[in-house]
Each structure stands twice: as C-alpha cells, then as structure tokens.
Amino acid sequence: MVGELVTAGVALASAGAVYLMAAARVVKQYERGVVLRLGRLASEVRAPGFTMIVPGIDRMRKVNMQIVTMPVPAQEGITRDNVTVRVDAVVYFKVVDAADAVIEVEDYRFAVSQVAQTSLRSIIGKSDLDDLLSNREKLNQGLAVMIDSPALGWGVQIDRVEIKDVSLPETMKRSMARQAEATRDRRARVINADAELQASKKLAEAAQAMSGQPAALQLRLLQTVVAVAAEKNSTLVLPFPVELLRFLERSGLQAQAQTAQAEAATRTQAQAGGQAEAQVQDQAQDQSQERVPVEQQWQPVASREAVEAVEAVEGVEVTTSGDGGVLSPELEKLPEAEDLPKDLP
C-alpha cells in the first residue's frame, strides 16, 4: 500500500514537473508576450519576466520591442529632371504595440521593407538630382512621413530614414565633374581678378606717392637691383623705368618750348625795329615835304643840261629825281638849254 502511494506521488510530481515545464515562459526585458488562447487574443500582453500559460490551450508569441535597422535595397528611378539614378536607404523603426504587430499584419518586418522601397521610388520621382545630392535632410523627413503613415496601423513607429548613397551614370558623373571644374575655374579667375584690382590700386597709390619725390623711384630701382642680385644669377637684368623716359621727354619738350619762345622774341624785336625804322623814314619824308614850299613843286624838264644852265644863270638851286626833275611854275617860262649862250661858264 505504501509502495503504491509512493509510486503515485512520484508519478504526480513528475506530471506536475512536466506541466510546469510546459507552462513556464520567460519574457526578456526588450520583449513582450502576446498570448492567443484558443486562437483568441488574451486581454493582456505579458510583461518581461516569468509567466505561465496553459499548455495546449495558450500560445504565446514574443515580439521584439528594440529599434530595428533595416536596409532598403537600391532602387532605380528617374528624377524629375530626367536623370536615371540608383538610391539606397536605411530605415530605423520599432514596435510600439505588440498586439497590433501580431494581429494586424502577417510579417511587420516584410511590410515595412516593402513600404520603404515603394516610398523611396516615389520620392526619387518627385525630386530633382540636386535635391538628392545636396538636400537630403528634407528628403529623409519626407520619406519617413511616407513610411510612417501605414506603419502606425501595424503597431510600428518609424524612428528615422536615411538615404545612404546615390549612384549616377558615368556620363552624368563626367558632366558634373566638368561643371565642378568650370565652377572652380570661374572662382579662381574671379579671385585672381580681384587680387589684380587690389594690387593695381596699391600700385597706383605707390606711384602717386613716388611722383611727389623723384628720388623715391631711384631708390626703388636700387632695391630691385639688390633683390635680383641676391639670387646669385649670372645675368642681371635692370629694368629701365618708364618714368625716366617720360622725364627725358618732358625735358625735350621744355627745351623746344624755350627755343620757340626765344625765336618768337627775336621776331618780335625785329618787327619792332622795322616798324621804328619805317617810322623814322616816314618822319624824314614828312620833314622834307614840309621844307619844300608849295610854289616850288617840280614839273618835268627836258634834260639835266637845261637844269644846270638855269642854275648857272638865275642862281636858283633845283633838285631833280632819277628819271627827271620838276621845276617850280616860275621856271616854266625859262628858255630851253639849246637857246642859251654857248660861252656860259
């Protein structure tokens, strides 16, 4: 009898141990247990720790509540500006409602993956190439909103979405490389032109300062010679200053101007002397005309012999011109030279 009781007790203990092992469950801290009793959802989700279920009646599914990192396969699409690109991304999400993640969707991971791929294709078609390359933050936010909208009904929350890489065709890469090179070349030219402008302004100020002191130019020339000679070159090239040429040119122009002024002064003096001589001659003619009376105005005479004969007879002095003289009216009645006596002295 006692043996039968012992045997029954051992059998009962063994059955209890087997039942306990079959009913005992351990839920980890980052998990939640969803119990389905005879196919129906139990009222509560099992918290982390030790829990019991009814073997054969209850079925518990553990749901991971950690953030899941899911890579999105590269999707090929055409941007809004007709450029073919391949874009891949990564999605970070977590389950916030374990019951909905089990009941509402068959496989929430696969569902999130498919939504992420379709949303990525959609965001590629709505964006330009420049936005995909430079404005990724805005695209990430838009992509997260597009994936999060259907995922909320599955008890899943999208934490963030990141676009990892944008693959371009080789022709587009070469075109972009040429564009970047041209842009950098333009910047380099603008910087060089700005430097030349600033240098020209400084040189103009230096030239203006040197123009006030001609010796400063010579000092600058000597400094240049010293700087060139310091390199220990076998050939020394001395720059010939343009200001020196201008100085020589100004000196030549000043000499020509002084010569012209001297010649003009000489001509002025000569003209003044000629005018003075003419005035003296005019005054002499006026005085000679004043000394001869009106009644002694000359008239034409026949010859020089007649005039000399008249002077000898009458004692009157008569002047004649080179082509014949003129006599006063009183001498018009005098006889001609052939009528006069031949023995006159």
Q: What is the pTM of this model?
A: 0.52
Q: What counts of helices (H) and strands (E) characterise the chain?
A: 9, 8
Query: Is residue 237 very low, low, confident or very high in pLDDT (cuts 50, 70, 90)?
Result: low
Question: Which residues 6+ apart lie within 8 Å of 222 measured at CB?
Answer: none
* Res 217 pLDDT > 60: yes
Identify the residue with better confidence: 292 or 43. Answer: 43
Give the per-residue pLDDT at 86: 92
Measure the N-to-C terminal CA separation of the chain; round to a whole number of Å. 229
Query: Is residue 280 very low, low, confident or very high in pLDDT (cuts 50, 70, 90)?
Result: low
Contact 75, 117 (CB under 8 A): yes
Concatenating the DSSP letter of every residue in 54-84 gives -TTTEEEEEEE-SPEEEEEEEEEEE-TTS-E
* Res 180 pLDDT > 80: yes
* Res 228 pLDDT > 50: yes
Q: Cα dist. 226→157, 175, 210, 219, 234 in Å?
A: 77, 51, 19, 11, 14
* Res 341 pLDDT > 60: no
Average pLDDT over residues 277-296: 57
* Res 322 pLDDT > 50: no
Average pLDDT over residues 193-212: 86
* Res 282 pLDDT > 70: no
Secondary structure (3-state) at 284:
helix
Identify the residue with better confidence: 334 or 47. Answer: 47
* Res 110 pLDDT > 90: yes
* Res 114 pLDDT > 90: yes
Give the per-residue pLDDT at 161: 92
